[in-house]
Amino acid sequence: MPKSPAREATNSPEFAAMDFETPPRPTSVGNYFDERALRISNLIDEELKPPLPAGDPYPDASTGKSTLQKQFQLFYASQTLDRERPSWRPVVYFNILKAVRMILDELDYDFSTRSQANDDEAVPSSSKTLLPEEPAAMWWSEIQELRAQLLPLIAMEDSLATDLSGGVSVTGGRTGAYVRAGWQALVTSTFSPAESRITESKHTSEVVTLASRTLAANVEPIKALWEHPAVKRLLDSRKLRLDESAPFFLASINRLAEPDFLPSNDDILNVRLQTLGVMEHTFPVDMGGSTYDWKLYDVGGAYLEEDPKTNRIDDSLQLFNAICSNKLLVKAHLVLLLNKADLLKKKLAAGTKVRKYYGDRPNVYESVSDYFRSHFTQVHRRKDIAKRTLYIHFTSMLDIKATQSIIANVGEVILRQHIKQIGLA
């Protein structure tokens, strides 16, 4: 049987983000907190069970680190974000092309497996997935027609990815485009011999120009594909799992396909572009009248080895454990952002249940988030060698207003600490 292309492209285990193993048991008992910790410690190996609402994004390994970096940039250096705006255009195109290709691949796979099931006499009728009332043949010819129209567009995906990755070819299949430090210069700037320096210019690579034109010529088939009942059915049944950015971009295709399209802040925050290696960002920050350069290091998670047997919360708890007990970080402040809270809310509202050890607790955001938070608090309480204050925020990094207010708070805490240190010096 052919392998599902969409599942191949996103190899994360279902709901792994919410599924975790036993954290270490508390060493002391007796006080309320330890009892509570012990109880929590028994509430492990939990799983969130689908069903998933229509179009709900598939949880992937990317937690939103680069999105946080963009929010910092928006807060502390919005003029640099304005300058970079044109370089996000090909990334938006890439996200659209990838989504279109994944939809078509999954439709192919779905149709071929369903035909196989129906042809196979040995398959019990209950396993046959082709519903008798479904106008399969009709929608299949519609999809084939759309595919033929969209072929020139999806054929550009790889060259666009290579363009964005600055010539880095990505092995292991079409997993996406990767960017590393300086990528924006590759797609938006050009060398001006007359001025002997790198200048911002209107230069756009041929690939990007072609992608823009091809996209403009294909607005209708893209819309028809995205709104097609066969696609909706695949999304509802969770057979089709797209990048989180896909619904956002496909729903706005008219605007994005305009020839003079310039990405908005929301577009820039929504794009999915994997980070390669470590990228350093510098922000000038005013602290008590003097300007300091803050450095933000954005680490790419793409090449981190993930053990498919170790679930993500457990992974995060182990990492947080190492951070709290790391002597080199003893002078660092601890701010823990538990991101994508909007997705957690959405899933719980849609009836997704926290299963197993969660017991009879209410399956609502307040209770579930408190439960997750307490695991980290517990690790911090036991492992923080410097007895620091731990600031924990549940965040939704696509929400500009809320995230900017958190960044302002974090900034204030650091500023206060800094003034204290200067005072003590």
Ligand X SMILES: Nc1nc2c(ncn2[C@@H]2O[C@H](COP(=O)(O)OP(=O)(O)OP(=O)(O)O)[C@@H](O)[C@H]2O)c(=O)[nH]1
State the nearest-atom distance from the C-beta of 297 to ligand X, in Å.
12
Give helix 219-226 / helix 136-154 axis angle, nearest 10°: 140
By CB under 5 A, residue 188 contacts Mg ion: no
- Report the SS3 class of residue 307: coil
Asked if residue 340 belongs to a known ligand binding site, the reply is yes
Helix (H) or strand (E) holding 392: strand 390-394
Q: What are phi and psi of 398, to 5 degrees?
A: -85, -15
Rounded CA gap, 151 and 145, in Å? Answer: 10
Choose from ligand X, Mg ion, none: what does 64 bind? Cβ within 5-8 Å by kind.
Answer: ligand X
Choose from Mg ion, ligand X, none: what does 270 bind? Cβ within 5-8 Å by kind.
Answer: ligand X
Question: Environment class of residue 23 by beta-carbon count within 10 Å: exposed (0-12), middle (13-18) or buried (19+)?
Answer: buried
Nearer to ligand X, 94 or 226 (CB): 94
Among the residues of 251-311, which ranges form H helices? 253-256, 265-270
41, 63, 66, 218: which one binds Mg ion (CB under 5 A): 66
CA nearest neighbour of 295 among 88, 80, 73, 85: 73
Question: Environment class of residue 392 by beta-carbon count within 10 Å: exposed (0-12), middle (13-18) or buried (19+)?
Answer: middle
Report the 10 Å Cβ neighbour count for 296.
15
Choose from ligand X, Mg ion, none: what does 265 bind? Cβ within 5-8 Å by kind.
Answer: none
Nearer to Mg ion, 165 or 275 (CB): 275
Contact string 270-309 vs Mg ion (x = CB under 5 A): -----x----------------------------------
State the nearest-atom distance from the C-beta of 68 to ligand X, in Å.
7
Report the 10 Å Cβ neighbour count for 286.
11
Asked if residue 274 belongs to a known ligand binding site, the reply is yes
Nearer to ligand X, 210 or 407 (CB): 407
Rounded CA gap, 404 and 68, in Å? Answer: 10
State the nearest-atom distance from the C-beta of 176 to ligand X, in Å.
8
Nearer to ligand X, 280 or 360 (CB): 280
State the nearest-atom distance from the C-beta of 177 to Mg ion, in Å.
12
Binding site for ligand X (CB under 6 A): 62-67, 244-245, 269-272, 274-275, 300-302, 339-340, 342-343, 395-398
Q: Where along the sequence are the contacts to Mg ion (CB under 5 A)?
A: 65-66, 275
Q: List, as residue ranges, the binding site.
A: 269-275, 339-342
